[in-house]
Amino acid sequence: MISLEKARKILDDFSREFLMASQKVESVPLWEAGGRILAVDIIAHEDAPAFNRSHVDGYALLSADTCGAAANNPVTLEIIDTIAAGSYSRKKLLPGTAMKIFTGAPLPMEADCIIKKEETREIVTDCGPAVIIKRPVSVGENISRKGEDISAGDSLFGRGTTISPLHMEILATLGIDPVSVFVKPRIGVFSTGNELVDVHEEQLQFGQLRASNLYALAEIIRQAGGIPVNLGLVRDRVDNVVQVYEKASRLKLPIIISTGGTAFGDFDVIKDAMEKILSVRLFNKVAMRPGAPFVASVRDNQLLIGLSGNPGGAIVAMLMIIYPIISRLAGGNKHLLPGRGKLTVPIVRKEDSLRGFFWGRCNERDGRLYVTPLQNQFCGAIETHINSNCLIEVPAGKVKVAENEDVDYWKLP
């Protein structure tokens, strides 16, 4: 049995040395790039905005024309053109003239300021339309300068960034399409157990269970940035498991994860199957509860992982150890975020030999973080899982944690 940190390091070292070589990059249309992970740094190749523009509806003019303007000494400027967003004026702005301009429209070359429409009054004179201005307008007023938001050469966001709606906005503004992203790694997953049946089975026979772990682990793979490959339900026979490993080898899946069959009973077949295909064992067990039955082996640069058949054990081990490895393989850096809070009710456990993880809820009150363990901590109590938003950690060797004691916790994704 090895520590959680040791297990992480062994698998992390293997993934960096062997699995990262299988990491691939692809170009996808910008329209489909949301949620994907960038494979390149994004450097602005042009200014945004690409021209001086108005950020109000109003009038573009020469500030010098408004010197001394006041309510009792208004200035009247002839309106010689109108500029809407998407168009521009070919006329020259001369002293004594103005141009009506709308938000987002390019500034006339000679203009050095804009006054808002609501601060003016438009009239019609014998010479045509004009605008009355009753205050001085400062140079640069209401103008968005070229490159004010983004300048060519700016480093905007880096390789490994998960593309959010705000990133999409910048990529679209700069015309970056398609986008280079990491290919989502395909991760094999299967469940062992003679008692398991497909989720579509309507009438369960006595002793049968629907294969819920398979779907929970598949979703963790997705959240980490991978694509789960369903290798199915496998009977408790070594040869059947070997067939699955051979199929995964042909599919060239970098990681194969199983749930069930990792303990020491007559029907715990994962370790025997790993030995039969001549894999190299990395470790057999991790000092944590739940999730201690954890078998890791390597064959032909494939990582074979065997997790507990208990839902709680499988999910905790998957989140604490495998989730960040899949994320890294997908080009990201996802992991459970640590925190520290006050325990609202005591935790008492029967034995203290292993580091413990308890399903719980964390929340903030009056500027402080509090964590509450849920009542039913049985490994198969799946309703407890959906009511949790964190895992509360209890150190090895500690039987009781008192109320109001500070504890470490891990925020669930």
| Local structure of 339: helix, strand or coil | strand
pTM of this prediction?
0.85
Beta strands in 21-154, from DSSP E residues, in sequence order: 25-28, 42-43, 53-54, 58-61, 75-83, 97-101, 113-116, 120-125, 128-133, 143-144
The structure tokens listed for 91 are 């006329």
- Of the residues 329, 360, 393, which one is the last residue of a structural domain? 329
- Of the residues 119, 144, 169, which one is the last residue of a structural domain? 144
Q: Are residues 205 and 324 in the same domain?
A: yes
Name the β-bridge partners of 59: 100, 115
CATH number at 121 reads 2.170.190.11
Domain count, the chain: 4
For residue 311, the enclosing domain spans 4-24+183-329
Longest dimension (CA), the chain: 103
Burial class (CB within 10 angstroms; exposed 0-12, middle 13-18, buried 19+) of 277? middle
- What type of residue is 210? R
Sequence-distant (6+) residues with CB within 8 A of 155 are 41, 42, 43
Assess whether pLDDT exceeds 70 at residue 267: no
The predicted-structure confidence for 19-77, as pLDDT tens digits, reads as follows 888 889 999 999 999 999 999 999 999 999 999 999 999 999 999 999 999 999 999 99
Q: Are residues 281 and 194 in the same domain?
A: yes
Q: List Cβ<8 Å contacts ≥24 apart for 242-246.
A: 242/273, 242/276, 242/277, 244/190, 245/273, 245/274, 245/277, 245/299, 245/304, 246/277
- Of the residues 144, 172, 206, which one is the last residue of a structural domain? 144
The structure tokens listed for 396 are 């090895």
Q: Are residues 278 and 306 in the same domain?
A: yes
Q: Are residues 240 and 355 in the same domain?
A: no
Give the number of other Cβ atoms within 10 Å of residue 278's Cβ. Answer: 9
Establish if 257 belongs to a structural domain: yes
18: DSSP letter: T
Establish if 170 belongs to a structural domain: yes
Strand 58-61 to strand 196-197: parallel, antiparallel, or no bridges (unpaired)?
unpaired
Residue 19 has a pLDDT of 86
The predicted-structure confidence for 177-206, as pLDDT tens digits, reads as follows 999 999 999 999 999 988 888 888 878 889
Establish if 238 belongs to a structural domain: yes
Q: What is the rounded average pLDDT of the residues 240-260?
A: 96
CATH number at 393 reads 2.40.340.10
